[in-house]
Amino acid sequence: MKLALACLTAAALCTPPAWAEYLVPLRTIRAKAIVNAEDLALKKGEILGALSDPSDVIGMEARVALYAGRPMRPGDIGPPAIVERNDLVTLIFRQGGLTIAAEGRALGRGAAGEALRVMNLSSRTTVTGRITNDGSVEVN
């Protein structure tokens, strides 16, 4: 009775909440694995923050272990890493017409556009830069 009274507002009736669909893995997907279309299913329900569009997930990398039947959240996936920890990368510094390139060792892993710490092999100095599409790291 209380619910019915609370739902009535100026002769308008309350509508029940709309059910949405959210993505769940069909099997356990390990961290660092690429998510494929056959790994996913849509499940009916109302989960805030859960992913619902398969095109946002297919081809992405699992950042954490994804367990079968559990909703997937945006922080659980990301673009595939192109630089792995301990990879040799080219450090690039550009300013005006000057370009300096040096060899470095990646201290983490990441995808294009992400920040990455790299040790300059010549000076043994640790710097942070952005990973470019070709796998080099631009330092400011």
- In order of start, what are the domains of the chain with their CATH numbers? 18-78 (3.90.1210.10), 88-139 (2.30.30.760)
pLDDT of residue 46: 81
| N-to-C CA span, the chain | 65
AA letter at 78:
G
Answer yes or no: are the C-beta atoms of 132 and 140 closer than 8 Å: no
DSSP, res 6: H
- Report residue 76 as tokens: 């659980």
pTM: 0.70
Beta bridge partners of 116: 129
* pLDDT tens figures, 10-65: 444 454 555 689 999 999 999 999 999 999 999 998 888 899 999 999 999 999 99
